[in-house]
Amino acid sequence: MFNDNGSFLLALFEFFLFFAWFMCLFWVFGDIFRSSDLGGGGKTIWVIFVIFLPWLGVLVYLIARGGGMQQRQLEQARTMQAAQADYIRSVAAKSPASSAAEEIASAKSLLDSGAINQAEFEALKAKALA
């Protein structure tokens, strides 16, 4: 397969270039679809350009819009972090004691309205306290 060390090194270099281009391609596609300042038509043109002229398309994209790639990625990370923090705060705000008290109060209101009987209320109360 490989006649000498030079052909092996050349094949290794070619594999490295292919892998590097493939990674750049994923980064470029991710940035194209993440970008909020591009409309649907602009995204379509960039995708077609990158697909039909792959090396040239990736290089032109990196030259034309590469400076903002990091900003768009950081913006998305901040948005995701804020959403995660909001979710954690909303879940942490519900303490087990208050949720048990809420369940008992809800069961008591059902008992008072006649929707459940005393035995069912006691069962719900025991379940909430367990």
pLDDT digits (tens, 9 = 90+) for 11-38: 889 999 999 988 989 999 989 998 888 8
Domain boundaries, given as residue ranges, for the chain: 1-93, 95-130
Whole-angstrom distance, CA of residue 25 vs CA of residue 19: 10
> pTM for the full model?
0.56
Of 49, 52, 62, whose CA–CA distance to 20 is shortest? Answer: 62
Residue 3 DSSP symbol: -
pLDDT band of residue 52 (cuts 50, 70, 90) is: very high
Residue found under tokens 């750049």: 24
Other residues' Cβ atoms within 10 Å of the Cβ of residue 25: 17
Whole-angstrom distance, CA of residue 52 vs CA of residue 19: 18
